[in-house]
Amino acid sequence: MTTEDTFTVEPWCLREPRLELDQLASTEAVLTVANGSLGVRGTLDEGEPVGMPGTYLAGVHELRTMVYTETGSGDPESTETLVNTIDGTAVRLLVDGHPLDVRTGTLLHHERVLDFRAGTLSRELRWRSPDGRSVEVTSTRLVSLDQRGVLALRYAVRALERPVEVVLQSGLVANTQQPHLPSHPSAVDLLEHPLEPQEHDANGRLTLVHRTLRTGLLVGATAHHDVESPAELDVHGEATPDHARFTVRAKLEPGESVTLTKLVAYAWSDTHELPALRDELAGALTVARHEGFDGLLASQRTVLDGFWECADVEIDGDDELQQAVRFALFQLLQATARAEGRAVAGKALTGTGYEGHAFWDTETFVLQVMTAVRPEVTRHALGWRHATLPAARERATTLDLKGAAFPWRTITGPECSGYWPAGTAAFHVNADVADAVLRYVDATGDEEFAREAGVELLVESARLWCSLGHWGRDERFHVFGVTGPDEYSALGDDNVYTNLMLQRNLRGAARWVRRYPQAAEPLEVTLDEVAAWEQAADAVCIPYDDDLGVHPQSAGFTLAPRWDFAGTPEENYPLHSHYPYLQLYRKQVVKQADLVLALFLRGDAFTDEEKLRDFTYYEEITVRDSSLSACCQAVLAAEVGLPHLAHEYVVESALADIRDPEHDSSDGLHVAALAGTWLALVCGFGGLRQVDDGLSFRPVLPDELPRLRFRLLFRGRLLRVTVEPGQATYELLRGEPLTVRHERDDLELAVGVPVTRPTRPRPRPPLPSQPETRAPGRGTLRDDSRPGTPASAGHHEQA
Amino acid sequence: MTTEDTFTVEPWCLREPRLELDQLASTEAVLTVANGSLGVRGTLDEGEPVGMPGTYLAGVHELRTMVYTETGSGDPESTETLVNTIDGTAVRLLVDGHPLDVRTGTLLHHERVLDFRAGTLSRELRWRSPDGRSVEVTSTRLVSLDQRGVLALRYAVRALERPVEVVLQSGLVANTQQPHLPSHPSAVDLLEHPLEPQEHDANGRLTLVHRTLRTGLLVGATAHHDVESPAELDVHGEATPDHARFTVRAKLEPGESVTLTKLVAYAWSDTHELPALRDELAGALTVARHEGFDGLLASQRTVLDGFWECADVEIDGDDELQQAVRFALFQLLQATARAEGRAVAGKALTGTGYEGHAFWDTETFVLQVMTAVRPEVTRHALGWRHATLPAARERATTLDLKGAAFPWRTITGPECSGYWPAGTAAFHVNADVADAVLRYVDATGDEEFAREAGVELLVESARLWCSLGHWGRDERFHVFGVTGPDEYSALGDDNVYTNLMLQRNLRGAARWVRRYPQAAEPLEVTLDEVAAWEQAADAVCIPYDDDLGVHPQSAGFTLAPRWDFAGTPEENYPLHSHYPYLQLYRKQVVKQADLVLALFLRGDAFTDEEKLRDFTYYEEITVRDSSLSACCQAVLAAEVGLPHLAHEYVVESALADIRDPEHDSSDGLHVAALAGTWLALVCGFGGLRQVDDGLSFRPVLPDELPRLRFRLLFRGRLLRVTVEPGQATYELLRGEPLTVRHERDDLELAVGVPVTRPTRPRPRPPLPSQPETRAPGRGTLRDDSRPGTPASAGHHEQA
């Protein structure tokens, strides 16, 4: 974890004012620069010390055979695993023969800044070598948001009091040794030397080309160097199979500096052979050189200006939250901007956590945000899902089901989960994809996508549901033996979230088959099939506990014994690290919002009274051992009239990586939780819901925040919403007039005509309690910062 | 599988009249000689060709690290795996320089006989070498039922038409290469070279001592040889670390022979060091030599005479079944006779299937039989369970439960299951142990065992149930999220079998704590605790489906969709090899008797009408992909008045290994199914139930069998029961007078006064149907022998 003051609180950047060596792995993830296609962890320029080096290309993976303790039919034989590819960041410095290493000599100053508007990671340090020579180093690193495969960096070293002889060694390095992170759950699975050398070259530019062993993917990097200095320079290049090196030697007088500019182009292919890859590398480098480092800096800012124009969220009254939501949005852009045709993984390209796999939360969390602030990335991401349909159809066949079964975890499409009760059985991923498709097309009017990919996604998923579910004696449509979002339950019957989401999927499929008959034709959809979807949707079973007046997460859930929270010491969280799943599954204990996520995403299916009762019930048994939970609880807390509690949850969600309270950011950021911060603010305090006939807002502000302002795109319009105590203002900044709903009123918005409406005061319900020691906190370790629980703070929401 | 005529049908032996090379692995298992402590597969004397060599010592195991695809808290780190230890069978023969190999030269005659009364595997062959020299070889092999660690064999070779020079090489061989059997599900896990040499010697006798690598167990074998021949002999011994060899050379005139007698003593230890093991080996060999081969043969027959006196089952009208039930009983004796203090594994010591692990079915099937025919082995087997209590307590603690949680699979006590939904969650093993304890003490009156071990077993298990279950809002005691016997379901709520068996456990524990207060004292049982057990037992939830009028296997089971049997081709059985558990678990499809096993073992909890309805319902969805099923279905079929169907099931159960229809006997016999054959005959046709106040019989005979006669021991008495059409005769052969129940009448039995009573005719209910292609057959491949299903044969039981 990082401490409270690892980063200073500033609105537009993350500044690390001094180097915390014991947090290197975590800060590397947080300070990643990436564009969705290429991701480079925030390692130090000189490569050491390092937490976990990482340069990732979306889709570049290796296969790893899975060994089962007891085999079952249909178990995947292997898993895809993200490969650390060729490192282009390394610039080592020798100062009069002493290698610059922050652990030796004297580090006089060290600062790193991740700039959300510049799109750069910059570094500034002053160092005195063991023999007393001082230098100042400044470096700036970026992964272009404009050019898909380009990493650029500028590295300058200046002599301070005394003359120094410096040697800069800039490299491309393959098969970097991967340290085993203690926090990495599958550390044993890290691949050593996954890349087989194909070519290496140092004539003019540096080039390395490698091939992954089992997947046979070609991966190449090529680097161009420029050096500027008043001093006389010796330069030369050399290459071995795993290492290409460009060396500069200079003798600097005090005040003199040498500046190295390095442009690195990456390319990879699963279809092309070496000659084509060579050309692609050279072409990409030519474009990068044409633009130059300064040009790349400028276009970086242009992309970001455009992004913030549509995406920015402004928060008054909580500077830390302000910074966190911008960090979240910046990392979401970095995760998605140029991910064309590739999965957006749970850790994006910030680490090898989850082996680089993408999960359902990309659709449900990340794409929900991106659809609102940068919809083109949603189109690409859903295009990736569409491209995986052959694998999903094959998986359905393996499972003896119809249609397509999307994988629980994957990089390129095949199921990579080796533990199916919490993996494959979580069929809700299919409905989550369908939901993202419907939301995207509704929010953008992109009917071309609907026709080309959307219809097929909805139809194949609808077919899965019909083969998975069955009609019961009660003439309801049931889905037995599946796993919902909550990972502390598995193989339940009639999971409410799953059933409500599949209902949306079935209805959407039926609607779209009628709306886009030509797109449906090649899928051989029959009228009977459509009728069956609608019948199933209308009759889907939503279990209800009449005694308690709440919805069970799945049938019978509320009859199970409750977890012994009082007997669970705080150090035994997360529970799955201390208790077997056997016990977790049998009991009422919720890892993450499941029924509460249904309350959020299918709010139309519940009354306000049901929402309050359900939310209150699940608050008492939800432990938030998943970073996906707090944001959903924030949204519902706000909706049921508990904005203070919502604020607590928003903050917890927002600081999940900057503070790293669970010590688990080192192997990658919690990308969906970053998206959740936006959802919590905009759907929670902004009360935004995308409903059938447009956008609806029901704003509510906690007393802690005097003002919240956010922007979003909808059907070609750019909207800005400002929520203040007692009122909300809606502005159309761009586009044709639009009607939105504020609470119960329809507002006509036109550019230049802001509309302000009062927000109705809402009754404040009793404050629900959370399990012992699990009240929300400010993202720091709870025992450091929060001695009390809400129970001790009184049972009613405080002003 | 073996074909119908692999073995001739004879009442007291299994005779293989010619060698079937493609069935070697299966016949090796079937022709095993063993005594529960030492098991030697029926390999050919010369060692090759071989299916899977195997000499096992109960308890000699190695640890194998388990790798999980996704880890969970409480997952066992390693599994125990049975080790193939030092082979003492090998006698190679050279005939004028040509090694005897049944695949070369000409095999003129080959016969092997496993004799159920002699307790030997004998072999007779005539072979002509490639250069035309003929010899006759006879060999006899036994594992002493009297001396725990002794293997003895006699090998004679006779020259036929022409003089021959023969060389006999008799060996002890360690680290024999283990071929990978295609049918072995975990073939990759077979350990290569598991034994580390410690000592080898060939001065006088041959000796090898090895040590297992991780478990550090010392294992030794020592062999004494005698040679008889009219010819002049050269003999010498030699040894290398993995191989000790005794060689005899002789020149035989036609008609002359040389006879080698080999006595091998085994010993192993997990506590003693080398000197102690050396002494134990030498001592055991001294005793064996004192007795000599003929003495061992004689004592073998004495043990077996005593066994058959109490255990024999005589069947008229079905010679194949007669042979099969004696084979079953013989193998049960071989599995248990000298297993003192060691687990009786699912495959006993006949192969490395299931890695040599013991499961719940030892208690429920094997010990149920042995309690009736040789109760002292039950005492030893339950003594082993008692000795594993420390491991079971530790497992309960790991699972956050109280008391003791017996493992799903183990060799020495620790949980070795790496897939808990079908492993650890099958808590019924605890109730099965308790049931065996109660049954044994009730059947024998062995109160010393009750005090020394039984009370503790019942109490610790009762404690487990109380911490596992919970009181519901309905004021019933529930057990959620556990797995019953049926392996095509997992993690159900209120499994009827489990709940009824735990009820027996709780009541038994309460009763015994009162009966043996001094035994309960060190366990710190309180009155409140006993009261809680009784309350839970009285209130345990037994779900019932009112609409269908049947008991669901677990709550909600009968609401699940039914498996598509019509759409499942016969070649897709067993289902778990062709469909993922994900689908099996979600649907109504039963691998093996679960609710039907409850109808058998807790028949007192059901009315006759319920039994018929439940049996009929589960017949339609039970596929018998487990060998444990047919025998239970046989018992219930007989009870509900379907003796013809019961006969079909008995035969299927009885031939599971002799015919090997599922091609899975090669890695070991289905020991519990062998026990099931006895259960099906005695509890099915004999209608035997051990009830609170003694023995009860309700005989019924299928028209196929004119007479069934069986023997059993009960409280020191030896009983013989003869069932004939329309009547049953009860004879007390030994012991004090005894009252037994025949149907509704109590009969007073005294030695020398047989009592014959008519059996009431019973109504014949409609014949239930089985899933398509799953009607019971005669143990051969169904498509060879049974073109029709019961449905096509008419819906009513045929005479």
| A513-572 residues touching B, CB cutoff 8 A | 547, 555-556, 559-561
CB contact under 8 A, A481 and B400: no
What is the predicted pLDDT for the residue at B438?
98
Does the pLDDT of residue A710 top 90, yes or no? yes
Substitution target from A65, A69, A409, A470 for chain B, most B beta carbons within 10 A = A69
Distance CA A470, CA A461 (A): 16
pLDDT band at B778 (very low <50, low <70, confident <90, very high): low
- The tokens 């947090």 sit on which residue? A23
Q: Is B499 left (phi over 0), alpha (psi -120 to 50) or beta?
A: alpha
What is the predicted pLDDT for the residue at A641?
97
CB contact under 8 A, A70 and B417: yes
Confirm or reject contact between B480 and chain A (CB < 8 A). Answer: yes
What is the predicted pLDDT for the residue at B180?
57
Q: Do A382 and A343 touch, CB atoms closer than 8 A?
A: no
Amino acid identity, residue A180? H
CB contact under 8 A, A398 and B422: no
Does the pLDDT of residue A799 top 90, yes or no? no
For the question of residue B487 being annotated catalytic, the response is yes
What is the predicted pLDDT for the residue at A783?
33
In the Cβ-directed half-sphere of A130, how many Cα atoms lie within 13 Å? 8
What is the predicted pLDDT for the residue at A70?
87
Residues of A in contact with B583 (CB under 8 A): 399-401
**What distance in Å separates residue A468's CA from the closest CA in chain B?**
9
Q: Do A101 and A20 touch, CB atoms closer than 8 A?
A: no
As a whole number, mean pLDDT of residues B191-198 equals 85
Distance CA A358, CA A368 (A): 15
Instruction: Collect all residues with Cβ–Cβ distance below 8 Å to A772 and sequence separation of at least 6.
Output: A565, A566, A568, A789
CB contact under 8 A, B580 and A400: yes
| B303-322 residues touching A, CB cutoff 8 A | none
Cross-chain CB nearest to A185 (options B71, B186, B473) = B71
What is the predicted pLDDT for the residue at A178?
72
As a whole number, mean pLDDT of residues B572-588 equals 97
Q: Is A458 exposed, middle or buried (CB count within 10 Å of its CB: 0-12, 13-18, 19+)?
A: buried
Confirm or reject contact between B66 and chain A (CB < 8 A). Answer: yes
ipTM of the complex: 0.92
Does the pLDDT of residue B795 top 80, yes or no? no
| B231-290 residues touching A, CB cutoff 8 A | none
Please tell me which residue in B320, B460, B487, B662 is annotated as part of the active site: B487
Does the pLDDT of residue A427 top 50, yes or no? yes
What is the predicted pLDDT for the residue at A149?
96
pLDDT band at B176 (very low <50, low <70, confident <90, very high): confident
Cross-chain CB nearest to B560 (options A68, A69, A480) = A480
Cross-chain CB nearest to B421 (options A75, A421, A424) = A421
What's the pLDDT tens digit per position in A85-107?
999 999 999 999 999 999 999 99
In three-state secondary structure terms, A191 is: coil
Distance CA B248, CA B251 (A): 10
Does the pLDDT of residue A189 top 60, yes or no? no
Distance CA A166, CA A100 (A): 10
Structural domains of chain B in order of their starting residue, each with its CATH number: 31-292 (2.70.98.40)
Backbone phi, then psi, for A78, in 5-degree steps?
Answer: -145, 165
Instruction: Calculate what percentage of chain A has a pLDDT beyond 90.
Output: 91
**What distance in Å separates residue B453's CA from the closest CA in chain A?**
29
DSSP A365: I
Distances (CA, A) of B424 to A424, A552, B317, B391, B533: 21, 26, 44, 13, 22
Among B469, B606, B483, CA closest to B535: B469
Instruction: Calculate what percentage of chain A has a pLDDT beyond 70.
Output: 95
Give CA angle at A370 (A738, A32), nearest 5°.
150
As a whole number, mean pLDDT of residues B286-309 equals 98
What's the pLDDT tens digit per position in B607-654?
999 999 999 999 999 999 999 999 999 999 999 999 999 999 999 999
Does the pLDDT of residue B549 top 90, yes or no? yes
Torsion from C-alpha of B670, B674, B676, B680, nearest 10 degrees: 140
Cross-chain CB nearest to A399 (options B186, B555, B582) = B582
pLDDT band at A33 (very low <50, low <70, confident <90, very high): very high
End-to-end, the C-alpha distance of chain A in Å comes to: 31
What is the predicted pLDDT for the residue at A2?
54
CB contact under 8 A, A582 and B185: no
Cross-chain CB nearest to A581 (options B72, B577, B581) = B72
Does the pLDDT of residue A226 top 90, yes or no? yes
What is the predicted pLDDT for the residue at B3?
57
Does the pLDDT of residue B513 top 80, yes or no? yes
pLDDT band at B325 (very low <50, low <70, confident <90, very high): very high
What is the predicted pLDDT for the residue at B185?
40
Substitution target from B63, B70, B575 for chain A, most A beta carbons within 10 A = B70
In DSSP notation, A629-657 reads: HHHHHHHHHHHTT-HHHHHHHHHHHHTTT
- Range of lowest pLDDT (B182-191, B372-381, B694-703): B182-191
Does the pLDDT of residue B767 top 80, yes or no? yes
Torsion from C-alpha of B287, B291, B297, B302, nearest 10 degrees: -90
Average pLDDT for chain A: 94
> HEC profile for B364-387?
HHHHHHHHHHCHHHHHHHHHHHHH
Tally of helices (H runs) and strands (E runs) in chain B: 20, 31
Q: Do B640 and B687 touch, CB atoms closer than 8 A?
A: no
What's the pLDDT tens digit per position in B100-115?
999 999 999 999 999 9
What is the predicted pLDDT for the residue at B788?
32
By residue count, chain A amounts to 799
Cross-chain CB nearest to B576 (options A72, A556, A576) = A72
Q: Strand A707-714 relative to strand A717-724: parallel, antiparallel, unpaired?
A: antiparallel
Q: Do A617 and A550 touch, CB atoms closer than 8 A?
A: yes
**What distance in Å separates residue A445's CA from the closest CA in chain B?**
38
In the Cβ-directed half-sphere of A189, how many Cα atoms lie within 13 Å? 25
B375-387 vs B389-398: helix axis angle to the nearest 10? Answer: 50
Does the pLDDT of residue A605 top 60, yes or no? yes
Distances (CA, A) of B114 to A160, A183, B50, B121: 94, 59, 18, 4
Active site residues of A: 487
CB contact under 8 A, B556 and A493: yes
B455-468 vs B389-398: helix axis angle to the nearest 10? Answer: 10
In the Cβ-directed half-sphere of B144, how many Cα atoms lie within 13 Å? 25
The answer to whether the bond into B768 is cis (omega within 30° of 0) is no
Distance CA B155, CA B133 (A): 19
Residues of B in contact with A420 (CB under 8 A): 580-582
pTM for the full predicted model: 0.94
Does the pLDDT of residue A272 top 90, yes or no? no
Average pLDDT for chain B: 94
Q: Locate the chain A residue with the closest alpha carbon to B572.
A: A73
Q: Locate the chain B residue with the closest alpha carbon to A476.
A: B559
What is the predicted pLDDT for the residue at B186?
45
Confirm or reject contact between A402 and chain B (CB < 8 A). Answer: no
Residue A534, token pair as written in the block? 């609608």
Distance CA A185, CA B221 (A): 45
Confirm or reject contact between B397 and chain A (CB < 8 A). Answer: no
Residue A535, token pair as written in the block? 């019948």
Q: Is B557 exposed, middle or buried (CB count within 10 Å of its CB: 0-12, 13-18, 19+)?
A: buried
Tally of helices (H runs) and strands (E runs) in chain A: 20, 31
Does the pLDDT of residue A4 top 60, yes or no? yes
Residue B433, token pair as written in the block? 């142990």
What's the pLDDT tens digit per position in B28-83?
999 999 999 999 999 999 999 999 999 999 999 999 999 898 889 999 999 999 99
Question: Rg for chain B (alpha carbons), in Å?
Answer: 27
Residues of A in contact with B67 (CB under 8 A): 67, 69
As a whole number, mean pLDDT of residues A458-470 equals 98
Confirm or reject contact between B399 and chain A (CB < 8 A). Answer: yes
